């Protein structure tokens, strides 16, 4: 129950998403975005929005987060 409360109304998660996505798929997408935020230690909100609009897939989202980390290290 606390996980659902954390996902609803979270400013760090996109509020728009593609039509045709069922509730559980959307909640899983939000969990994946939160995972990226924690794992990579940053928030790329435009990329998160593109993921929930199904413009990019999760693998692409991960690559964008990873590549942005490499740019900071270099």
pLDDT (tens digit, 9 = 90+) per residue, 10-55? 788 888 889 899 999 999 999 999 999 999 999 999 999 999 999 9
Are 34 and 1 in contact, with CB atoms under 8 Å apart? no
> What pLDDT was estimated at residue 7?
57
- Positive or negative: CA dihedral 33, 10, 42, 64: positive
> What pLDDT was estimated at residue 1?
45
- For residue 44, CA distances in Å to 1, 4, 23, 49, 65 come to 26, 22, 23, 9, 7
Nearest to 46 by CA among 9, 5, 7, 16: 16
Question: In angstroms, rounded to a whole number, what is the distance separating the alpha carbons of residues 29 and 74?
Answer: 30
Please give the model's pTM, rounded to 2 decimal places. Answer: 0.78
């Amino acid at each position: 129950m606390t996980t659902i409360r954390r996902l609803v109304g979270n400013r760090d998660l996109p509020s728009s998403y593609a039509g045709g996505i069922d509730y559980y798929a959307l909640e899983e997408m939000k969990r994946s975005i939160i995972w990226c935020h924690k794992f990579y230690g940053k928030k790329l909100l435009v990329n998160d929005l593109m993921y929930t609009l199904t413009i990019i897939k999760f693998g692409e989202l991960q690559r964008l987060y990873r590549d942005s980390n490499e740019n900071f290290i270099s």
